[in-house]
Structure 1
């Protein structure tokens, strides 16, 4: 799929699925790395495990900040000076009940007369790339997305499952595939109804340069020197080492 087509799909649908971004060896490496994670600050464990800013814990997470298909799309959509605003590891266990339909961040709420037309798209400010480390079927709990719902320019209301006649669609895919979506598209996480399969996922969140990097635990944040020592120039830029600009 060409980069132009990927950008067109982000504009029209609010998301694009990229196949075969990770090979089996890297999938196995990441699943083992999630096994070793421990909660820090706002992280938590239970039926859903959630770990923020994993790039700062071990250099092994660094190469997943700028995987070629993902960084090409992020830079094309958000600018060549975009950066990372998060890298989060998830594991949902059997019995996890799922997550309701929501959006992650709305850059600007539009007046009703404009959003109801459904033909205006705000430039994206934040993209999330979900790297699936498990095969995703209906039983393990797919991500659900309402195509085009980013044009609503508002969050879904309680119980709302469609926008302009479009209902939420499940993203069924293979381990190693990556789903890239805008922060303002409506999406949800499905329930894990399996008996024994965990749903593992690594997210990378990209933002335009003017989107602040808010790394937990904030005031106590320190970059891991072992990570910075081995980071490439592009990875250091993604972590915030920018050239001088107007607001620096």
Structure 2
């Protein structure tokens, strides 16, 4: 059996080489059912929206139920290895994608630095990560149920995809087909897309967690009106409080 440090190191190498890595069996059946039930009970707040796509922001602040999914075993070790052991959460969102949802085109989430192509194409250069996203799938994902599509290695493109561009260096977007309870971790520069829900009646449930280096700002909406839920803070572990922003003093504090 591979030890956790060795497995984390292997997954970190995949984030550097491919830009993404699939983590099997992160959630068990009870956790999957708990999350699906909790998502069913969410009501829109502030910038949340509903329709064929339901999208709920900052769910960690609504109930202590969501806290354990900020630092899941296997996920948090990888996030800390990629972004530093003082990384924090910059978002936790819940999704329901209904039949007829058309998906999202190929894009990247955030490009921290625009670097010269000569550097990005040098295999000896390791591009540091600033933000990573974890998709926690709550359904078995097949071709009909909104599979996430990823372009391997595209985090080294150094730019977003152009309109109509569907491949990078000969690599086209690949559908991530997986089981309920699996997680996909990918870095913010990776070209990826969300597929349509072409199933007849299935809804895709997804919980998403964004991790950032400490110096990446936590922009929790509604911003100036933001207040942490006291019940959530009281229930949070020391590590979860750090992920929510309770850091040790540093140069810019």
Matched, 1:186 2:191: yes
User: In the TM superposition, what is the alpha-carbon distance from 1:72 to its structure 2 partner?
Assistant: 0.4
* Correspondence for 1:124 among 129, 133, 147: 129
Is 2:173 aligned against 1:168?
yes
Does residue 150 (structure 1) correspond to residue 159 (structure 2)? The answer is: no
The aligned length equals: 247
8 A Cα contact 1:90 1:202, kept in partner: yes
Task: Give the SS at the match of 1:122.
Answer: coil
Q: CA deviation at 1:141?
A: 1.5
Q: What is the CA distance between 1:183 and its match in structure 2?
A: 0.5
Identify the residue that residue 74 of structure 2 maps to in structure 1.
69
Distance 2:170 2:90 in 1: 33
Report the CA distance between 1:118 and its aligned residue: 5.9
Q: Which runs of 5+ in 2 are unaligned?
A: none
1:72-111 equivalence runs, <5 A: 72-111=77-116
SS at 1:227's partner residue?
helix
Q: CA deviation at 1:222?
A: 0.1
Structure 1 residue 64: Cα displacement? 0.3
Runs of 4+ residues deviating >3 angstroms: 112-115, 118-121
- Whether the aligned pair in 2 keeps the contact of 1:146 and 1:163 (CA below 8 Å) is yes
CA deviation profile, 1:14-45 (whole Å, cap 9, x unmatched): 00000000001110010010111111111100
Structure 1 contact 53–86 (Cα < 8 Å) conserved: yes
Distance 2:118 2:32 in 1: 46
Matched, 1:200 2:205: yes
TM-score normalised by structure 1 residue count: 0.97
Contact 1:140–1:191 (CA under 8 A) maintained in structure 2: yes
Aligned counterparts of 1:231 and 1:246: Cα–Cα separation in 2: 26
Which residue of structure 1 lines up, in the alignment, with residue 21 of structure 2? Answer: 16
Q: Deviations over 1:215-244 (max 9, x none)?
A: 011010000001001100100000000000
Distance 2:117 2:8 in 1: 32
Give yes or no for contact 1:19–1:176 (8 Å, CA) kept in 2. Answer: yes
Q: Gapped runs of 5+ residues in structure 1?
A: none
